[in-house]
Chain A
């Protein structure tokens, strides 16, 4: 007789790839996510939603396998006893109030009315929407819609929460409340897996961060570890401009530069620096006299460039 299996407490991806036709969603992802708050961070299109949809069976891997606490996403009856997912889709079934929305979908579990009512109110209370619960969702603000989705994801008390960009559209106060809720949920021993395209939004609250870029996991681990990994390596930046040679002469005056060389196509300059933030600030000053700078972008796909993108605050209006 085989011994009973040790209870699995990890969300596992084993060499998972997913293609949308020709388009790469994620490639060769291998992960083991323990309980606690885990952030999937990467620019738009890096594969965060794809990973989350794979965890919840909304899409299937092209290759590899996914297991949520040992359960395959192919088995909704087992999976959704364990998992709650708040998607990035800002859409709701028509004509329902916040309460009806949560209550009706809880009834799909096959539970009796009283239990569903009780769970609905508890979830609504946790996201502080009690006052709006009987209003139609169609009249909710973006922030309220985010919260009612969150309530729907936590209503059945799942051990694994998957939340796609849950902080999007929340004002600072609600955002702080929501983060406090994540901590609470994680402290109860759950997995709280959140995604964001802004690292500094989640880095402080995360037990673990997974950095994604173009469908690859480029770094993974505790946030402190990530920071040191990033600081040790100089990062490469490509500056597209009309006079790269002239620019090269100027940038060497900057002390943070490790290396600068002309790009092979003659239309740009590749610069290596240890302090990208400082480099960007200085670049603003030398750019003024006679050199037209077309673009400045991280030149490689490594952790640094993604990180730089994420903390660079390039998103206007953020």
Chain B
């Protein structure tokens, strides 16, 4: 029996695969999924170019790093130039107050960081050092993009695109009845369709996440720990699992999938402000708990809102994974009940 269901599910997956991966309507899913890859690639390129430039300058006009560090506020322009030589990056003068006040900036690089010395009337007043971006900074940027763009928007809407179409698309094409005229339980059909959507979504979104992680560490010696990498990939896959079930169901219950999508989006965004019992009826709560670096929004939002945020402890890894599977299972049970009652009624759609 189980062997038969398994064979039937595979047959459904085979039929669905082309649609989930290659539908013309679904092209935007790829754009959404791979937008952060483009962003990180662009970031890497510009960073490598800057580095290249600084190295070339430092090689042509070397400035000793020790000398750069010995410069103190209060020195005169001449003293600074005596120690460091003429600026090897650039110098700029600004005059204002009818030409009476004169400011000057001299920039140097030791091949890695960039030093800008600001003078007012010939006396050194400010020193700013633009260090090379660090891996730690980029890691935080990645964490933020992952949580606020990739999970909440890219995977979210990607799953809207892939999963709502599993049933709705065929109702629109008037080809769903072929499935319903086969000796296959509706639950098995639903499971097969869900599996097909999941394979596509997980492949697309974990591939994108893996590329992003690779690009993240590309310019640096260091990289994320294997544990952190697998956590991100796992969270991306679990997001597909959770949102996939929700939007598979949405496609069965609603004619226009954008309405439930908007509803779920609002619910998931409001999650931060919900009392902790309600928080747990969501997907994002568990995903958030599983993210390796907590990119907390708390600091940036205004204090009134901060008061509204209920401070539920993030769930432990095991609880979060279990919670996500539980939410998914409940949603799928509802969806398969609906699939059982489903009638072919193309005319009325």
Contacts and interface: CB of A to CB of B under 8 A. Distances in A.
B7 to A, nearest CB: 4
A34 to B, nearest CB: 23
B183 A78 contact: yes
Contact of A110 (B8, B15, B170, B175): B8
A58 B180 contact: yes
B344 A53 contact: yes
A92 B5 CA distance: 24
A154 to B, nearest CB: 12
A108 B345 contact: no
A271 interface: no
Interface in A68-106: 76-81, 83-85, 87, 89, 91-95, 104-105
A280 interface: no
A262 to B, nearest CB: 40
B277 interface: no
Contacts of A81: 183
A107 B181 CA distance: 13
Interface residues of A, number: 31
Interface in B167-184: 170, 173-175, 177-184
Nearest to B183: A80
B51 to A, nearest CB: 48
Residue among B15, B178, B181, B182 with most chain A CB within 10 A: B181
Contact of A109 (B18, B180, B182): B182
A92 B8 contact: no
Contacts of A83: 181
B175 to A, nearest CB: 5
Given A89-B174, A110-B7, A59 B343 contact: yes
A236 interface: no
Nearest to B346: A89
B4 interface: yes
Interface string A151-193: 0100000000000000000000000000000000000000000
Contacts of A53: 344
B179 to A, nearest CB: 7
Residue among B8, B183, B344, B346 with most chain A CB within 10 A: B183
Contacts of B343: 58-60
B182 A59 contact: no
Contacts of B180: 57-58, 76
B174 A108 contact: no
Contacts of A20: 345, 348
Contacts of A17: none
B11 interface: yes
B186 interface: yes
A273 interface: no
Given A58-B181, A91-B173, A93-B170, 20 more contacts: A58-B344, A59-B343, A59-B345, A76-B184, A80-B181, A84-B181, A93-B175, A94-B19, A94-B175, A104-B14, A105-B15, A105-B182, A107-B11, A107-B14, A108-B8, A108-B11, A108-B182, A108-B183, A109-B182, A110-B8
Q: Which 6 A-B pairs have the closest CB atoms?
A: A107-B11, A91-B174, A80-B183, A108-B182, A110-B7, A58-B344
25 contacts: A53-B344, A58-B181, A59-B345, A76-B184, A76-B186, A77-B183, A78-B183, A80-B184, A84-B181, A87-B181, A89-B177, A89-B346, A93-B175, A94-B173, A95-B18, A107-B10, A108-B8, A108-B179, A108-B183, A109-B182, A109-B183, A109-B184, A110-B3, A110-B5, A110-B11
Interface of A: 20, 53, 56-60, 76-81, 83-85, 87, 89, 91-95, 104-105, 107-111, 152
